[in-house]
Amino acid sequence: MSATPSYVPHWIAGKPEIPEGTRTAPVYDPALGVVATWVCLAGNAEIEAAVASAKAAFPAWRALSLARRQAILFRFRELLAARTSELAAIITAEHGKVLSDAAGEVARGLEVVDYACGLAEHLKGEFSQGVSTGVDVHSVREPLGVVAIISPFNFPAMVPMWFFPAAIAAGNAVIVKPSEKDPSASLWMAELWQEAGLPDGVFTVLHGDKVAVDGLLEHPDVRAVSFVGSTPIAEYVYRTASANGKRVQALGGAKNHMLVLPDADLDLAADAAVNAGFGSAGERCMAISVVVAVEPVADELVSRIAQRIAGLKVGDGRRACDMGPLITAQHRDKVSGYIDVALADGATVVVDGRGIEVDGASDGFWLGPTLVDHVPTGSAVYTDEIFGPVLSVVRVASYEEGVALINAGRYGNGTAIFTNDGGAARQFQLDVQVGMIGVNVPIPVPVGSFSFGGWKDSLFGDTRAYGAEGFRFFTQQKVVTTRWLDPSHGGINLGFPQNH
């Protein structure tokens, strides 16, 4: 779909842009291990052009009736649903996740679009009649203007879709700065928006690295920033955008624990640990990376997880495989380095994913599912976000010890408890210091009508993604107090207005 085969262009003012002499970065096909294309990296001129076209598009978009905006959202929603497989193929080619997983990512993004299609409801204000004699008050929610969305590599379609449906529905003009590792999904969605009838300039794609991010964070015409990525960059984005007077929500990294109580169904728990640990090669912010087994179940649970790993097929996501490659060779090497760290720190490597046989090209960025037991909690394998197919097991003596471990961590994105005891599950919800909790559900990503966000170092800012909080983030409130003239209320009174 893109204008030229060799570069992934920006999308500015409703058309592809490849600036003369642009800096570029390679985009890999991770299953083949080759450079598939090159992405343009924005400099100052492109940042200025992107913001200027968004700024120019904003007044007319904001002024369009809710009904007309809603019709465009519905068209986008229908096109996306009908052409999910096209987008999934783009995601798989650049990210590597298997096609069914890529289609699942699009489906989870569609949920957020569905919710945004109800914009007339979500943007409703409030009205109080007669707050004082002859006085009424109403509130409205208005768009902010130009807003930026900066997204990570692991969900090139879903994460931008956590934000742009509400932002656009509310009347803002959006600039998406996708990950430079898999930039094409955003470009495809830009073309889809145009097909759906969105005016040019309301949806812009600006590719780039730190230069583009800093340009957006510092630009006086960018009013708000939604960021998703690793914790150090999230913290940086939060501080820089705040210092520049912007509204900001910055979602960071994670280390999600799954607590398995002795009464749990161990087959269900083992299935869940494998699905949530190795789906998308562990490159999910809601992946389970630590299984906390409450004794005496650890030996049996580890054995059942290992059995299931033996049945997983790793290979090219375009073939019938369970798990694809990692995003880059560099990331694969970093992740596999943690297996050496595990051995050095005295952990037991139950399944070693290095050197695994794959159904794919020999140069692909492969690392098989890896299971590490008896992981010391002082080891970097336990404390670092690895973001790959390395699942740790930590053994504890009690529920209390397990919860204390989870609460001691720096992240608070997701967690899960596996048990058949309703009372224990209820207590867990009260005790655990984590933003998203699953009860016998390993990846508790909230549906589109709720909001997504973690605690502690997993979210900087006070507003979460999508759902009602998404609409609040992308709007500002006005409150209007009205009294229609009545000659009996005239006269001079310098006192502070009181309601009677």
Is 466 a binder of ligand NAD (CB under 6 A)? Answer: no
* Choices 60-68, 163-171, 174-182, 272-280; region in contact with ligand NAD by CB under 6 A: 174-182
Pairing of strands 348-351, 10-12: unpaired
Q: Are strands 459-460 and 247-251 parallel, antiparallel or unpaired?
A: antiparallel
Q: How far is residue 346 CA from its own chain's centroid?
A: 34
Residue 30 CB, shortest distance to ligand NAD, in Å, is 13
d(C-alpha 308, C-alpha 491), whole Å: 82
Structural contact between residues 312 and 369, judged by C-beta atoms closer than 8 angstroms: yes
Based on the shown chain and the rule CB under 6 A, indicate whether residue 448 belongs to the binding site for ligand NAD.
no
Binding of ligand NAD by 253 (CB under 6 A)? yes
Would you say 373 or 469 has its CB closer to ligand NAD? 469
**Under the criterion CB under 6 A, does residue 179 sit at the interface with ligand NAD?**
yes
Which of 171, 178 has the CB closer to ligand NAD? 178
Please report the sign of the dihedral spanned by the C-alpha atoms of residue 313, residue 369, residue 333, residue 318: positive
- 228 touches ligand NAD (CB under 6 A): yes
Half-sphere exposure of 262 toward its Cβ, with a 13 Å CA cutoff?
Answer: 7
Of 371, 345, 373, the closest CA to residue 356 belongs to 371
The reply to whether 254 sits near ligand NAD by the rule CB under 6 A is yes
Active site residue 285: yes
224 near ligand NAD, judged by CB under 6 A = no
When binding is defined by CB under 6 A, the residue of 92, 154, 172, 336 that contacts ligand NAD is: 154
Q: Is 104 helix (H, G, I), strand (E, B) or coil?
A: helix
By CB under 6 A, tell whether 159 contacts ligand NAD: yes
Listed residue (314, 254, 230) closest to 279, CA to CA: 314
Q: Which residue is nearest to ligand NAD (CB)?
A: 229
Count the helices and strands in the chain (H runs, E runs): 16, 23
Nearer to ligand NAD, 285 or 432 (CB): 285
Q: Give the number of residues in contact with ligand NAD, rule: CB under 6 A.
A: 27
Question: Which listed range, 25-33, 191-199, 208-216, 265-273, lies at the site for ligand NAD (CB under 6 A)?
Answer: 208-216
CA–CA distances in Å: residue 27 to residues 24, 38, 189, 264, 331: 9, 5, 18, 44, 14
Asked if residue 184 binds ligand NAD (CB under 6 A), the reply is: no
Residues linked to residue 395 through DSSP beta bridges, in sequence order: 293
Binding mask 45-64 for ligand NAD (x = CB under 6 A): --------------------
Alpha helices, H only, 409-478: 422-431, 467-473
CB nearer to ligand NAD: give 233 or 273. 233
Nearer to ligand NAD, 111 or 385 (CB): 385
Which residues are catalytically annotated?
285
Name the site residues for ligand NAD (rule: CB under 6 A). 150-155, 159, 177, 179-180, 209-210, 213, 228-230, 233, 251-254, 285, 385, 387, 413, 454, 458
